[in-house]
Every structure is written in structure tokens, then in C-alpha cells.
Amino acid sequence: MSENNFKPEILAPAGSRDSFLAAIAAGADAIYCGLKLFSARMAADNFTIDELERLTVLAHDKGVRVYVALNTLVKPDELDQAGKLMDQLNRWVHPDAVIIQDLSFIPIAGQIGFKGELHLSTLANVGFPNALQTIQKLKMIHRVVIPRELHVDEIRAMAAACPQGLNLEVFIHGALCYGVSGRCYWSSYMGGKSGLRGRCVQPCRRIYDLKGQKKRYFSCSDLSLDVLAKVLLPEKNISAWKIEGRKKGPHYVYNTVTAYRMLRDHPGEPDMKKHALFLLESALGRKGSHYNFLPQRPQIPISTDTQTGSGLLIGNIKGPAGKSYLVPNEQLLTGDLLRIGYEDESWHTIYRVTKSVPKRGRLTLNKPSLKPGTSVFLMDRREQELAASLKTLNLDLEKIPEKTNPESSYKFLYHRKQKGIGKDDGKKSVLEMRLERVIGKERKGPSDAFWLTPESINSLPKKAIASSWCWLSPVIWPEEEPELRMLVQQVLQKGCTRFVLNAPWQI
């Protein structure tokens, strides 16, 4: 494709077969999806190797690329298992790329002779321009998915700094993390389930009590750049516009892909813009926000006065327990999928509409013990056009023979240790550090640590800095990079030789 005809690909999410097919039907350029393991969206249905092989054949027949997310952290005792999955992908599925967070997949890819590209996930937290130069030296990384927290000027700075051989992927639509995606430990802290392992329990979506007021104080609206996405079109190093939503249904996928394809291909046409906005508003996601994209006009994505449940609020449960019914504020179609209650409420339930119900009609719910007043959301819908497309694609899929592929015999090949490295000298292999937000007067020795901040440098004596560990921030944004470089030089001059990095790119 010539530079004048350059268009970023529309990258669609798929967590189920029908969502995958909906992405093809909507004209997505590429689809990303996950397996049953090592996926950062373990709550999605996800795919087996055999399922994904047939779907990838179909996608390639339709000219659609397929990216597979193996984007969780990998424990040392899981390297063989992770390698076996990637080996099976390479042998049977033939994806165009694998999305990774853990750098152990780089040697695995080399050992199995992986034929596709490697894309670095947003969970790897590549948030400042000079990180891209470090990543280029890894050789095997082709694309970096940059954080959705960046504003447009920071995105442009990342694109300008992108070296030859790398390209960038930018989120344009989907869920927002209350913390920083890939650096939030809230789920681990509250329930022992790590978001970096694909098992975030979304504590930010829950109700909290503040001085007797019970509300969802941390639940964010969705990112929706909608018409603003066109300002990214001149950035040739941005190769993909990414839609988040692997837990969403085919209706959401179909609407969002169709809308952003219109906004990309017809950025100056009012009728296309109007129809695209309608599709996004009716996509059955959360309320949309431009969030931080325009730094001069940021939008706060949290409002405790509006509902932030996924789906379209369609009404509330009426009637006594055992005789519950719904009076919908929109027409319900046969096959519509409803969620009764919020996702974080353990008792919430799913209901499939079996017969069309007019607006302000009555839907009797054969569900016991439903609480009057409970919110009901429309989660998925199969309009006639979408239903027909899915039927046709399912028939095409049935023509592709099913296979049961053999297991992989892959074993992770460890590099030979360099002389003097990894020797067992009988000493403890775990070092406990004392790291405090506020620098205390009492320093207890070489296991002390401090955050790299001006306050730490100014308050600690030179001897303490030289004998302590210096911790860099878990997140470095583009505007912070120059100051942090200067601070690193200052602590080096004061004799500090031991650093703790919170991302490999900070080296």
C-alpha cells in the first residue's frame, strides 16, 4: 500500500465464535483473540487450538488477519506449557501475530521457528518514546500496543519516535482501567487474582460506602474516541486502531467495527459520521468518554450519578418475588440477551428473550427470587442483517474439516549460564527491601530502598543513597522522561549503583 493510500487496520476483539464471525462480517482488517490459557481476558469464552485453527482458515480466506493474545505473565514453572501452546499455534493455527507481555515468549518464538510477528501488549507498559529504541534492539518485536492513558500529543510523540521496523497500535474504543492497565494490583490485593494473569475481578466496578453513601465511585465509562479518531490518520507509524472488548457479544463487535471503518474511510462525510455515532451509541457497551485524549479538554470518565454497567439499561424488575416482570423502555427482539443485575453482583443472571416484546410491553420472567427494582440491561442482539451474516459464515465454517491436532513435545531450552552466574553459594536468594513513600530518618542498611524522586534525593545523605536500592516508578509517561533521566544522573553521581526497574524499557 502506498503512503497516500495508507489506512490503519481496524482491529476487532473476539472472545467467542460468533463475535469472531461478526468481526469478519463487519469488515475488520484483523481480529485478536485468546486461548484458554495465558490470556489477559480469562473471563471470556476464548478458544481451543482446534477451534481457532478452523476460524483462522476462514478469516484468511476472507482476507482478515488473526492475532492471538498470549499476554499474561508466565511463571518459571510454566515455560514448557507456554512454549507448547505457541508451538501448536505455529504448527496448526498459523496466526499472523502473537501478542505478548512476558519477554520469555521471545526466546520461545526463536526456538520453535515462529513464522508470524510478535506484538508487545499494552500490559508491557511502554509509555515513553525512548522505550521504543530499547524495544527495537530486541529484533523480534514488530509492533507495540501503547497505553490507552496517553493523550493525542503523547501519542504523536510516540509515533514520531518510532524507529524503522516497529509500528504502533492505539486503543480507540473500549473499557478503561481505573488504575493504569498493566500496573493495577487492586484485584490481587482484594482477592488474590492478578490482572496481569488475566483474572482481574474488577473491584473498581463494585459498590463502596463513603460516609453512608453507597455508590460505584471507581467505575469508569468506556473510552470512545469516535470522531476524534480521524486526527490519528496522518500518523503513518500507527498501523492499527484497536477496539477493546473480548468479553463482548457479536452485536458490540459488529457495530463498533462498522462504525470505525466508516470514520476511517469517510472522515469528512457528515452522513457517515452521523450513522457511525448512532452505531456506537447502540453498540451495547458502556457510556462513552473521550477521557484524556484531548489534554486541553479532558473528560472525567467517572460519574456516580449515571450507571456504568455494560449494556443498555432497558428497565427495572417489577412485581413480587416469583411473579417478576419487565416493562422495557425499548422494543425487545427474539434472541435478545438480557442481564438482570450488575456484573459485580454475584446473583446476577442472564435471560434470553424468546418472543418479541414491544416498547412499554410486558415481559414475564420465569425466574424466582428476583428483587423488585433490579436493573435489567440489554447485552446482545441479533438484528436481521447480522443474523444473516452469521448464518452464512457459520455455513462457510462448517465446510472446513475439523481436526484434532497432536500435543506438542516442546521443552524450554535454557541458555547455558555464564561463568560465575547462578552459582549456589548457600546464601538466601530472596532479598527483603524496606521501601517507604516517606523517607524515614532511620536507615537500617543495604536492604533499604527509596523511590527515585526529587524529595528522596534532597532528603537523603549521599552515603545513604550510595548504599540503598533506587526504585524507578512503575509507570513513566512521556512528559516525565526528561526529569527522570536527570534524577538518574544525580543518584549516579552520588554513588548509587543498584536500581530496581519496573519495566525492562527503563534500563
SS3 of residue 160 by DSSP: helix
Question: Rounded to whole angstroms, how far apart are CA atoms 273 and 277?
Answer: 6
Question: Rounded to whole angstroms, how far apart are CA atoms 141 and 103?
Answer: 10
Q: How confident is the model at residue 419, as a pLDDT?
A: 45
DSSP-derived letter for residue 93 is I
394: its cell numbers: 457459520
Percent of the chain with pLDDT over 90: 74
**Residue-range domains of the chain with CATH:** 9-178+221-302 (3.20.20.80), 312-385 (2.40.30.10), 434-506 (no CATH)
105: its cell numbers: 515468549
Which residues of the chain carry a pLDDT beneath 70? 1-4, 40, 42-44, 416-429, 439-447
Asked if residue 496 lies in contact with residue 145, where contact means CB atoms within 8 angstroms, the answer is no
Q: How many helices (H) and strands (E) does the chain have?
A: 13, 22
Q: How confident is the model at residue 44, as a pLDDT?
A: 65
Nearest Cα residue to 259 out of 297, 220, 299, 288: 288
Q: How confident is the model at residue 443, as a pLDDT?
A: 55
Which residues does 293 contact at the CB level (< 8 Å), separation at least 6?
Answer: 151, 152, 223, 225, 228
1-57 tens-digit pLDDT: 455 678 999 999 999 999 999 999 999 999 999 998 887 676 667 799 999 999 999
pTM of the model: 0.91
Using a 10 angstrom Cβ sphere, with 0-12 exposed, 13-18 middle and 19 or more buried, the burial of residue 507 is exposed
Ramachandran quadrant class, 226 (left: phi over 0; alpha: psi -120 to 50; beta: rest): left
Question: Rounded to whole angstroms, how far apart are CA atoms 242 and 394?
Answer: 25
Distances in whole angstroms, Cα of residue 420 to Cα of each of 77, 209, 474, 500: 24, 55, 31, 22
Q: How confident is the model at residue 420, as a pLDDT?
A: 42
Distances in whole angstroms, Cα of residue 417 to Cα of each of 36, 420, 422, 426: 33, 8, 7, 18
